[in-house]
Structure 1
Amino acid sequence: MHWRKFNGDKIPLPIKDVVEQTIQAEVAKGIKLKVCIGTDSQVKGADVEFATVIVFLREHSGGFMYIYNETLSRAFHIKERMLLEVAKSIEVAYELCDLFIKYNIEMEVHADINTNPQFKSNDALKEAMGYILGMGFAFKAKPEAFASSSCADKMVN
């Protein structure tokens, strides 16, 4: 996996190492962090591009994020694509969760799924919520799911 910063700089180390270094540096400055992880996707012809983000929120001091993009060349039903977005976010959250526990950092998984039944993505809401909560993670859906619906959305090229 090749993660990058918002400015495009590639992250050469494993993401877990970078996240721990980031947490240590922020905590050393006395900054309280919250982390939100989300994924969004966009269909582009025969391909689907996914962007997963790890958003670090600094209490009273802005934030920053790390980004991972991936393209898959196959068609997905919308419900399948929504649940794959959630699975990608959970994969990252699961890899990093011991760090968040170790450093007492609040973490949420954000799903780009609409809570309004009039939207197609709503078909996946119950399964996504069950998946995320079942893994023991805090869950947010639209409109509160900014990591997926705003941050990751902007990173899908």
Structure 2
Amino acid sequence: MAWKKFNGEIIHFPILEEVEKAIERESAQGYKLKVCIGTDSQIKGDTIDYATVIVFLREHHGGFMYIHQDKSIKKMGIRERMLTEVQKSIDIAYALCPLLELYEVEMEVHADINTNPSFKSNIALHEAMGYILSMGFVFKAKPEAFASSNCANKVVQ
């Protein structure tokens, strides 16, 4: 998986190493950290573009993020696409979990799913919430899911 920083700089080693370095660097500077993970997608013709982000929040001092982008050519409905986004976020959250527990960094998984039933994405809300919560993660949906609905949304190709 190729990851990059928001400024476009490519991460040339495993994302776990980069995340650990970031935690150590930011903690040494006295920042209390929280990590929020989210994925968003856009359909472009026959292609679905995905962006998954790892957002680091420094309490009262802004934040920064790492980005992974990929594509799929599989046709799918809105429910399957929303749950694919959630799966991508959970995969990253699961990989980071031991590291974040070691450094006592809180984590949330954000789903780009609207809590308002009048929006199409709401069809996947209960499944996504059940999946994320059953994995033991803190779940956030729109409008609180900024990692997916704002951060990933800005960088999805």
Instruction: Provide TM-score, normalisation by structure 2.
Output: 0.99
Q: 1:94, 1:119 → 2: CA distance?
A: 29
- Deviation of 1:103 (Å): 0.6
2:120 corresponding residue in structure 1? 120
Match runs of 1:4-83 below 5 Å = 4-83=4-83
Match runs of 1:63-142 below 5 Å = 63-142=63-142
Q: 2:69, 2:22 → 1: CA distance?
A: 20
- Deviation of 1:74 (Å): 1.8
Q: What SS does the corresponding residue of 1:104 show, helix, strand or coil?
A: coil
- Deviation of 1:141 (Å): 0.1
Q: What SS does the corresponding residue of 1:7 show, helix, strand or coil?
A: coil
Which amino acid counterpart does residue 2 of structure 1 have in structure 2?
A
Q: What SS does the corresponding residue of 2:11 show, helix, strand or coil?
A: coil
Q: What SS does the corresponding residue of 1:71 show, helix, strand or coil?
A: strand
Quote the sequence identity (%): 66
CA RMSD of aligned residues (A): 0.5
Q: 1:147 aligned to 2:151? A: no
Q: 2:149, 2:16 → 1: CA distance?
A: 24
User: Runs (4+) of structure 1 moved beyond 6 Å?
Assistant: none
1:104-124 CA-to-partner distances (Å, cap 9, x unmatched) read 111000000000001110010
Q: 2:17, 2:156 → 1: CA distance?
A: 24
- Deviation of 1:91 (Å): 0.1
- Deviation of 1:76 (Å): 1.1
Which amino acid counterpart does residue 31 of structure 1 have in structure 2?
Y
Instruction: Provide TM-score, normalisation by structure 1.
Output: 0.99
Q: 1:7, 1:22 → 2: CA distance?
A: 16
Q: 1:33, 1:76 → 2: CA distance?
A: 36
Q: What SS does the corresponding residue of 1:151 show, helix, strand or coil?
A: helix
Which amino acid counterpart does residue 36 of structure 1 have in structure 2?
C
Q: What SS does the corresponding residue of 1:20 show, helix, strand or coil?
A: helix
Question: Which deviates the most, 44-53 or 69-78?
Answer: 69-78
1:120-140 CA-to-partner distances (Å, cap 9, x unmatched) read 100100000000000000000
